[in-house]
């Protein structure tokens, strides 16, 4: 796989192509291997979701009935609740770059497993009466397959409750949501719910305004395979 291919792989799920800045093929291979085979990665995910669950229980206990807005959590999808390392491993194995066509085929399979800890967290949220919103840069064309994948794993989708409430907010689904920036979608959620917690694997999954709140209301998961971080690598990285 050439350098451009590796950097393109790392650009998955972002709308901007990553610049080719010195990433070497072994970086992609090692990143995928770490995600798929290290016990530390599993431990990090479970640790993060356990801490998030503790924070969520605390918030739910503080919330009294009669609040003007119901509580919600906002989670990202890829590498936050769904594990696409199988797709990425295939790219590395075949020496291919990320391509929207191969990605769309993977999404259509509806076979991504859950990130460790994610399902228990989401179910706890539902049990506490906290709505889980999935704010993802998967496209609106990929929404049905994404819903099917999440539902098959047991993630709450409001299917049985407020069926009119759309909790899977994809890129391009509404006017103003065409970009990969998630601010407009976070604002839409905040109009109807009080968001008490965010979970993501990319800085772009968290608000850009106000103080950072990692470990309190914001919980971040590891993703060495791709992300916005890969667009700002130094030339000798
Ligand atoms: Mg993600």
The answer to the question of residue 12 being in a domain is: no
Say whether pLDDT at 7 is over 50. no
Q: Residue 163 — very low, low, confident or very high, per pLDDT cuts 50/70/90?
A: low
CATH code of the domain covering residue 130: 3.40.50.1000
Q: For residue 81, how far is its CA from the centre of ligand 1 (angstroms)?
A: 8
**pLDDT on residue 123:** 98
Tally of residues, the chain = 237
Q: How far is the CA of 67 from the centre of ligand 1 (A)?
A: 31
Residue 227 — φ and ψ, nearest 5°?
Answer: 145, 175
Instruction: Return the residue matching tokens 């995928």.
Output: 32
The pLDDT-based confidence of 14 (bands split at 50, 70, 90) is: very low
Considering the domain boundaries, does residue 95 fall inside one?
Answer: no
| 63 band by pLDDT with thresholds 50, 70 and 90 | confident
CA neighbor of 13 nearest in space, from 73, 77, 74, 75: 77
CA distance 49 to 55: 10
186 φ, ψ to 5°? -60, -40
Antiparallel, parallel or unpaired: β 218-220 and 194-200? parallel
pLDDT tens digits, 173-230? 999 999 999 999 999 999 999 999 999 999 999 999 889 999 999 999 999 999 998 8
Residue 134 CA, distance from chain mean position:
8
Domain that residue 173 falls in? 39-84+110-223
Give the mean model confidence (pLDDT) for residues 155-160. Answer: 84
Q: What separation in Å is there between the alpha carbon of 32 and the centre of ligand 1?
A: 15
Checking if the pLDDT of 12 tops 70, the result is no
CB 80 within 8 A of CB 35: no
- Residue 233 falls inside a structural domain: no
* 93 part of a folded domain: no
> 176 in a domain, yes or no?
yes
Identify whether the C-beta of residue 149 lies closer than 8 Å to the C-beta of residue 111.
yes
Residue range 83-106: average pLDDT? 93
- Please check whether residue 130 is in contact with residue 62, taking contact to mean a CB–CB distance below 8 angstroms: no
Q: What are phi and psi of 236, to 5 degrees?
A: -100, 15
24-28, 44-48, 168-172: which has the minimum mean pLDDT?
24-28
User: How much distance in Å is there from the Cα of 64 to the middle of ligand 1?
Assistant: 32
Domain contains 52: yes
- Ligand 1 centroid to 34 CA: how many Å? 17
φ, ψ (nearest 5 deg) of residue 171? -70, 130
Cα atoms in the 13 Å half-sphere on the side-chain side of 119? 14
Mean pLDDT lowest among 140-144, 145-149, 224-228: 224-228
At 65 the pLDDT is: 67
Task: Find the 225 Cα to ligand 1 centroid distance in Å.
Answer: 10
Q: What is the mean pLDDT of the chain?
A: 88
Query: SS3 of 118, please?
Result: helix
- Number of domains comprising the chain: 1
Q: How far is the CA of 226 from the centre of ligand 1 (A)?
A: 9
* Separation of CA 176 and ligand 1 centre (Å): 20
Cα of 84 to ligand 1 centre, how many Å?
A: 10
C-alpha 161 to ligand 1 mean position (Å): 27
Distance (Å) from CA 68 to ligand 1 centroid: 30
Q: How far is CA 171 from CA 13, 34, 117, 168, 211, in A?
A: 10, 29, 25, 10, 26
Say if pTM beats, i.e. exceeds, 0.75: yes
Q: Tell me, in angstroms, the distance from the centre of ligand 1 to residue 77's CA.
A: 6
Instruction: Indicate whether 29 belongs to any domain.
Output: no
99: CA distance to ligand 1 center in Å? Answer: 17
Work out the average pLDDT over 112-136. 97
Residue 208 pLDDT: 94
Q: Which residues contact 30 (CB under 8 A, 6 or more apart)?
A: 224
């Amino acid at each position: 796989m050439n350098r451009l291919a590796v950097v393109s792989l790392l650009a998955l799920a972002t709308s901007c192509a990553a610049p080719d800045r010195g990433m070497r093929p072994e970086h992609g291979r090692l990143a995928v291997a770490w995600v798929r085979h290290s016990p530390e990665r599993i431990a990090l995910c479970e640790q993060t979701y356990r801490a998030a669950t503790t924070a969520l229980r605390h918030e739910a206990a503080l919330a009294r009935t009669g609040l003007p807005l119901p509580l919600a959590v906002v989670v990202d999808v890829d590498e936050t609740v769904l594990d696409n390392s199988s797709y990425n491993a295939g790219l590395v194995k075949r020496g291919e770059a990320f391509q929207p066509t191969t990605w769309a085929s993977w999404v259509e399979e509806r076979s991504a497993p859950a990130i460790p800890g994610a399902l228990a967290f989401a179910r706890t949220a539902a049990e506490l009466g906290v709505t889980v919103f999935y704010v993802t840069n998967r496209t609106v064309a990929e929404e049905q397959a994404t819903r099917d994948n999440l539902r098959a794993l047991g993630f709450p989708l409001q299917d049985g409750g407020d069926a009119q409430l759309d909790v899977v907010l994809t890129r391009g689904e509404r006017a103003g949501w065409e970009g990969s920036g998630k601010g407009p979608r976070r604002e839409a959620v905040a109009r109807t719910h009080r968001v008490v917690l965010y979970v993501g694997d990319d800085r772009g999954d968290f608000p850009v305004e106000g103080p950072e709140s990692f470990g309190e209301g914001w919980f971040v998961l590891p993703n060495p395979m791709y992300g916005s971080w890969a667009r700002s690598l130094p030339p000798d990285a």
